[in-house]
Amino acid sequence: EPEVTQTPSHQVTQMGQEVILRCVPISNHLYFYWYRQILGQKVEFLVSFYNNEISEKSEIFDDQFSVERPDGSNFTLKIRSTKLEDSAMYFCASSEALRGGSPLHFGNGTRLTVT
Amino acid sequence: DAKTTQPNSMESNEEEPVHLPCNHSTISGTDYIHWYRQLPSQGPEYVIHGLTSNVNNRMASLAIAEDRKSSTLILHRATLRDAAVYYCILRAVSGNTGKLIFGQGTTLQVKP
């Protein structure tokens, strides 16, 4: 069964450094998402992406964050200057369609630790 | 976004059926009811969804009330591997980007 893959599984970085989290969505999917989950808290929506542009973003997704689909298969989340509070699990998801009956498929996440 | 209400936690014995309830009294006519679960240290996993009729798949069954204001996820025979947080989420059809909004979910413990 096709799946969403994320790399790396764990990333450790120093405060102020840039990080890029990578995702390969399911190949025929058109809608892409990033979520994050701080340890012990809810899964929070960050951004949705379609047709090479952001379609919606949350308040969390400030100017330090950016997303890109650099080629036909990868979908990346960049944090320009990491803060301690960016430490979290980051999940990528993709969906075939926006129909209410079309589920999101999630990767197993990248654990980002900012020191 | 229409909200859902779920119990914070439930317990079940292994090999017994589990009924996980969800209330969504403000559901609109075009909202689909989705269920996801999150096993420890993993990403959310799609379980099942429905609109009006009850649904079955290899993982679970979804029973939807006639007025659609509540639903129940049914695991027919719980296993230890089913211990997870279960999320009931409404997914609107149009006018948005298809994002899912996660609540706290129901933490299911399965006892051997």
Q: What is the pLDDT of residues A8-45, one digit of tens each?
A: 999 999 999 999 999 999 999 999 999 999 999 999 99
What gap in Å lies between CA B19 and CA B9, rounded to an integer?
A: 12
pLDDT at position B94: 63
Average pLDDT, rounded, for chain A: 94
Residue A15 C-alpha, separation from nearest chain B C-alpha, in angstroms:
24
What is the per-residue pLDDT across B73-104, written as a single tens digit (0 to 9) for each? 999 999 999 999 999 999 876 666 788 899 99
CB contacts < 8 A, A to B, total: 67
Instruction: Give the per-residue pLDDT at B29.
Output: 86
For residue A1, what are its two tokens? 């069964």
Q: How far apart are the first and last CA of chain A?
A: 37
Task: Kindly give, in sequence order, each residue whose CB lies less than 8 Å from that of residue B13, ignoring residues fewer than 6 positions away.
Answer: B78, B110, B111
Which chain A residues are Cβ-neighbours of B100 within 8 angstroms?
A: 45, 104
Chunked into runs of 10 residues, chain B (112 residues) has average pLDDT values of: 89 96 93 95 95 94 97 97 96 75 96 95
